[in-house]
Chains A and B, each alone.
Chain A
Amino acid sequence: MIYLDHNSTTPLHPRALEAMMPFLGERWGNPSSPHRFGSEARTAVERARERIADCVGGKPSEIVFCSSGTESDNLALRGVARALRSRGNHLVTSSIEHHAVLNTCKALEGEGVRVTYLPVNREGIVDVTALVASLCAETILVSIMHANNETGVVQPVEDIAAIAREHGVVFHTDAVQSAGKLPRRLSDLGADLVTFSAHKLYGPKGMAALYVREGTPIAAATTGGAHEHGLRAGTENVAGIVGFAEAMLLVLAEAEAEGRRLRTLRERLEGQVRALLPSVKVNGSAATRVPNTSNMTFPGVDGESIILGLDVHGICVSTGSACSTGDPEPSHVLRAMHLTPREAQGSIRLSLGRETCEQDIDTVVQVLVNTVTRLRRISSVEGEVE
C-alpha cells in the first residue's frame, strides 16, 4: 500500500505508542482520584501538558485537552459565543473552513448568531479586506483556519490576528492541518484560540487540544467536573494525552528537515504529472502551502473514479475532506476558489507523510497518469483529451 492521505490521518508514531502503553496497561488510574495510584496518572497528564505547552509556546494552564479537532473547534466557537453573548452576536469565518467550524457556525446561526462567511481568491486565500469590512461593534469572534485541509493553502493568520486584536475581537484558528507540518510555535500565530489534533501529527486518534491564551473570554461547552480548567469536563484520556505529547515533540523536532524533504517530493509529483498531463491544474499552487499537500484537477474525469482506479492498485488518496466523501456535492473549498462544479468534481488530494519516499511518488505518478488517461478515453465530456 502507498498511503498519500496524511491530511486525513497519520500512522501512530512507534515511540508515541510505546509511551502510551503503560497507561493502557498497568497504570490505569484516574488522574482525579485522591490516592497514589491516581496521582501517577495525574503526573503523566500534567507532564504531557507541560511538554505540549512548550511545543506551542504557551503555559500549561493554556492547554485544554479534548477528544477531537471537531470538539476543540466546537469549544472555541460555542464557548466564546456563550461567554460574550451580552457583548455581541456576530461571528466572522471563511467559506473554506472545515465542516467542524462551518456546521458549528450554522448551528449557532440557528441560535440567533449572525455569521459572515468571507470569500477567498482563486488561490484559496481568505480576503483580508473583506474581513476588515465585515467587522462591526457586534463582532465577538473571528475564526479562520491556518492551513486548508483540501489544498494545504496557508492563510495569513498573523495579519488576521493583528486585525482582530486591533478591533478587540477574539480570534480562533483551526491549525489542525498545519500543526506539526510547519516548524512553528502555534502561539506565535497570534491567535487567542488554536485548535490542533493528535492524529494528524502521528499521535493517537480521539485526542486533540485547544490552546486558550490567558485572559480569553470562553465558557465551557460541556458541563460536569472541573477537568481541563473547567472548560472540558470528563475523565482525561491519559494514554492519548501522553501519546499526543510524545508525537508532537518528535514531529516538531524534525519538522524543518521533513518539510524540506516533503516539499521536494511534492515538486517531483506535481512536475511529473504536469509534464505527462499538461491540462492538470494544481489548486493553490501560487499560494504558500503546507509542504505535504497537493490538490489537482483533471478536467474531463471524476475524482471518485480516479480514487477507485488508484485504490485498485493499492494507492490511497482522497477527494478532500474525508468527512464529506460520499457526498455528491463537489468540494465547497474548490467551489469557493471559483472552480466550476465539474472541475471541483474532477479533483483529488494527495497528502504526503513521513513514510512517503521517492519511489512511492514515481509509482503514484505512473498509476495516476494511466488511470486519468483511461478515464478520459471513457469520458463523454469533450475537449479535454491530450
Chain B
Amino acid sequence: MGDDTNHTDSSPGDPAGPVLFYNPTVIDHFMNPRNVGELAESDMNGFGLVGDPACGDQMKLWIAVRAGRIARIAFKSFGCPGAIATSSMLTDLADGRTIEEARRITDDDVVEALGGIPERKKHCSLLGVKALQAAIGDWERRQGATDGNP
C-alpha cells in the first residue's frame, strides 16, 4: 500500500510477505505480458509444458524455428505475478535468437533483465527457462523425425 518503489531489491533480507514487492519492470511484464498466446500446430515446430510442483504454477510455451532461429514464440502461464512476469521476459529474451543462444538463457538472465525479483519468487524464473528447454528439445525431436537422422 505504500510507495511501491521501495521494494525493488531482491536481497535475501526480503520480508516474509507479501506479494507486492515487485519493481516497475516486473509489474509491467505482469500487466502487459509479451508474446502471450498459442501458436497453431501448423505455425510452430516446438512445444514445452512444465509445472512447478513447489507452488502449482504451470507454463506452456510454443516456438517456431526458422533457419535455426526462433522466429516466433508464445506462452501461456498459470501462476503468481512472478511466474507471469518471468515467463514474459523469457520470451522477450529468446525471441529472434538462434537455438544455441536461446539454449544458453538462464534463470539468472531472466531475473537480471527484470531488474530483480523477490528472493522467494526466484524459483518462478526457472519455469520459463525449463519450458523453453522443453520446447527446444521438442523441436530437436521433430527435426530428427523429419530428417530421419536424430
Chain A residues at the B interface, C-beta cutoff of 8 Å: 1, 300-302, 304-305, 307-309, 311-312, 316, 322-323, 325-326, 328, 330, 341-342, 345, 377-381
Give the distance in Å from the alpha carbon of A345 to the alpha carbon of B54 in the complex.
12
A-B contact count (CB 8 A): 70
| Residues A325 and B55 in contact, CB atoms below 8 Å apart | no
| Residues A300 and B1 in contact, CB atoms below 8 Å apart | no
Give the distance in Å from the alpha carbon of A380 to the alpha carbon of B58 in the complex.
7
| Residues B31 and A328 in contact, CB atoms below 8 Å apart | no
Q: Which B42-90 residues have C-beta < 8 A from chain A? A: 49, 54-60, 75-81, 83-84
| Residues B36 and A316 in contact, CB atoms below 8 Å apart | no
| Residues B77 and A379 in contact, CB atoms below 8 Å apart | yes
| Residues B16 and A308 in contact, CB atoms below 8 Å apart | no
Residue in A304, A325, A381 whose Cβ sees the most chain B Cβ within 10 Å: A304
Asked if B30 is at the interface (CB within 8 A of a chain A CB), the reply is yes
Residues of A within 8 A of B80 (CB): 302, 304-305
Asked if B13 is at the interface (CB within 8 A of a chain A CB), the reply is no
A to B CB contacts below 8 Å, 12 in the list: A302-B83, A304-B80, A307-B20, A308-B20, A308-B22, A316-B1, A326-B17, A330-B56, A377-B36, A379-B77, A380-B75, A381-B78
| Residues B19 and A341 in contact, CB atoms below 8 Å apart | no
Which chain A residue lies CB-closest to B14? A326
| Residues A380 and B17 in contact, CB atoms below 8 Å apart | no
Residues of A within 8 A of B27 (CB): 308, 312
Q: A304-B80, A308-B30 are in contact. Are A325 and B54 (CB under 8 A)?
A: no
B19 touches which of A308, A330, A379 (Cβ 8 Å): A308
Residue in A301, A312, A328 whose Cβ sees the most chain B Cβ within 10 Å: A328
* Number of B positions contacting A (CB below 8 A): 30
Across the A-B interface, the 6 shortest Cβ-Cβ residue pairs = A380-B76, A325-B18, A328-B55, A326-B17, A304-B80, A380-B60
Give the distance in Å from the alpha carbon of A379 to the alpha carbon of B33 in the complex.
12
| Residues A304 and B81 in contact, CB atoms below 8 Å apart | yes
Residues of B within 8 A of A309 (CB): 30-31
Residues of B within 8 A of A341 (CB): 56
Asked if B141 is at the interface (CB within 8 A of a chain A CB), the reply is no
Q: A1-B1, A308-B30, A380-B78 are in contact. Are A302 and B57 (CB under 8 A)?
A: yes
Residues of B within 8 A of A378 (CB): 33, 36, 76-77, 84
Asked if B122 is at the interface (CB within 8 A of a chain A CB), the reply is no
Chain B residues at the A interface, C-beta cutoff of 8 Å: 1, 16-20, 22, 27, 30-31, 33, 36, 49, 54-60, 75-81, 83-84, 120
Which chain B residue lies CB-closest to A346? B78
Residues of A within 8 A of B1 (CB): 1, 311, 316
18 more A-B contacts (CB under 8 A) besides A328-B54, A380-B60? A1-B1, A302-B57, A302-B78, A302-B80, A304-B81, A305-B79, A305-B80, A308-B20, A312-B27, A322-B18, A325-B19, A328-B120, A377-B36, A378-B76, A378-B77, A379-B77, A380-B78, A381-B78
A379 touches which of B17, B22, B78 (Cβ 8 Å): B78
Give the distance in Å from the alpha carbon of A381 to the alpha carbon of B56 in the complex.
11
Report B127 CB to chain A, min CB distance, Å.
10
Residues of B within 8 A of A323 (CB): 17
| Residues A301 and B78 in contact, CB atoms below 8 Å apart | yes
Residues of A within 8 A of B56 (CB): 328, 330, 341-342, 345
